Structure 1
Amino acid sequence: MKTERENYHHGDLRQALIDAALELVVEKDVSSVSLREVARKAGVSHAAPYRHFEDKEALLAAVAQEGLEMFNYSLYEANQHITNPLEKLEVGCSAYVRYAIAHPSYYRIMFGAYGANVEKKYPFLADSIQQSWMQFVNIIALGQSMGLIRPGDPEQLAQGVWALTHGFAMLVLDNQITLKDSREIEFRSRFTIRLLMEGLMKR
């Protein structure tokens, strides 16, 4: 007899598997996730995940896509009403760090080694990451057009912004920087971003 959890409607099963994968990343790491472990965590048969995902990569791609949709919306929502590009950049980078800390499992799957390996296989992931990336590129281009940000290739400048923001987020997630609470994280992240922005501003 099937258990109650094995009688999922297909749509519910798919989400249950995504949720189980996220829990396993918290408990272990991305490399240790398997469809068998995900099925066990979700309380379904070992064959159940194959109704929606052909393999582990397909499951993690779905997790990454869900996380990227949330991530992109959080960046957009944070600065949609701000007109000054320097302020938009600071607020956007701060929102980036807050998302990483609030959703570490999503973040590690989205931007860890796994994500870099599957973008070509799953173009929708590359599109979502490009959307994230272009938010920063467009802010820098806007700042340049207003004479607030130094001349140069906006994509190269955005790469520096992304590298610093991602690096700070990962240092916090890996406990290489010890911060006691969300207020200190916000203060330190903004302080770090402002140091970078001093180099971006037009002299």
Structure 2
Amino acid sequence: MTTDPETADLRGRLVDVGVDLVAREGAQALTLREIARRAGVSHGAPRRYFPTHLELLSAIARRGFTDLGARVAVTDTDGSPRARVEELARVYLEFARDNAGMYELMFRHDLLASGHLGLRETSLPLFGVLVDLVGRVRPDADARTVAAALWANLHGIAQLWRWGSLQLATASEDFTPLLRAALDAHLGSGAGR
């Protein structure tokens, strides 16, 4: 199926507007009507390009995964596997902190489960990078399970940091000690440095 330039342009503009809107106002602001208004089209126009609201939200979330993937791709590839996991985890937490609305949207289960626009195919390779690195640090363990536990820990840190809970609990504005504790818990203290 070919897409004419006008369709591609409006599809892209709707996604661009959604990306900007989620950055400024959060995931809750992503209504079809508001995206259409800001794109300068009728409120029914998005449905011609994205038959469901979930499809448009998935396209916006895909941009978030693409951005996060690009950030992960430029992490240090020369360091030890442990240092690379730490850098990947830091990039993940910084992305979550600096892009709270997009981060929230990216991990909505209804979007990931819907299969729209290959969202799983965009998110799973990032997890694959983590699994590979964890396997190098912990060849004695099931790398997929350890990576999933580490990711769940990082996701929890990101969410609790976003809510301000961890800053209150730790009396600190630096998540680095929490990051290192999570790495030590899942990879072993000092393993593979």
Establish whether TM, by shorter chain, passes 0.5. yes
Between Structure 1 and Structure 2, how many residues are aligned?
A: 183
Relative distance call for 1:113 and 1:175 in structure 2 (3 A) is: farther
Indicate the larger mover: 10-19 or 34-43.
Answer: 10-19
| Aligned equivalent of 2:85 | 89
Asked if 1:111 corresponds to 2:107, the answer is yes
Hey, what's the Cα distance between the residues in 1 that align with 2:166 and 2:66? Answer: 27
Q: Say if 1:16 and 1:42, in contact at 8 Å, map to a contact too.
A: yes
Which residue of the other structure, out of 30, 42, 47, is the alignment partner of 1:33? 30
Relative distance call for 1:188 and 1:178 in structure 2 (3 A) is: same
| Aligned equivalent of 1:18 | 15
Percent identity, aligned pairs only?
25
Deviation at 1:188, TM superposition (A): 3.9
Hey, what's the Cα distance between the residues in 2 that align with 1:23 and 1:102? Answer: 14
Hey, what's the Cα distance between the residues in 1 that align with 2:76 and 2:82? Answer: 11
Q: Say if 2:161 and 2:167, in contact at 8 Å, map to a contact too.
A: yes
TM-score by length of 2: 0.80
Q: Say if 2:82 and 2:137, in contact at 8 Å, map to a contact too.
A: yes
Hey, what's the Cα distance between the residues in 1 that align with 2:125 and 2:27? Answer: 26
Q: Say if 1:39 and 1:49, in contact at 8 Å, map to a contact too.
A: yes
Deviation at 1:136, TM superposition (A): 0.8
Hey, what's the Cα distance between the residues in 2 that align with 1:116 and 1:189? Answer: 27
Hey, what's the Cα distance between the residues in 2 that align with 1:106 and 1:28? Answer: 7
Structure 2 gap ranges (5+): none
Q: Aligned with 1:78: secondary structure?
A: coil
| Aligned equivalent of 2:127 | 133
Deviation at 1:76, TM superposition (A): 2.1
Hey, what's the Cα distance between the residues in 1 that align with 2:26 and 2:66? Answer: 24
| Aligned equivalent of 2:188 | 198
Q: What is the Cα-based RMSD across aligned positions, in Å?
A: 2.8
Q: Say if 2:27 and 2:105, in contact at 8 Å, map to a contact too.
A: no
TM-score by length of 1: 0.76
Relative distance call for 1:56 and 1:194 in structure 2 (3 A) is: same
